Amino acid sequence: PWLVGENLQKLGVKILNKGITGQVHRDRKLLTGDSPLASNNLGKLAAKTLLEAFAR
């Protein structure tokens, strides 16, 4: 998995999550998590994002 991050950085992607803390991030329609520890928080963020999208 670390090779994916390195390859993305070479393409100009800025990696925000530096550790394995369960952190999640939303950038427009892209939702990401820093590790398997982020799965619960990522699910919550995904649900919130979907509810916001369908409320419009």
6-15 per-position pLDDT tens digit? 898 999 988 8
Tell me the pLDDT band of 2, cut-offs 50, 70 and 90: low
Are the beta carbons of 36 and 21 closer than 8 angstroms?
no
Task: Kindly tell me if the per-residue pLDDT of 1 is higher than 60.
Answer: no
Asked if residue 41 lies in contact with residue 52, where contact means CB atoms within 8 angstroms, the answer is no
Please give the share of the chain, as a percent, with pLDDT higher than 90.
68
Please give the structure tokens belonging to residue 15.
């990696």
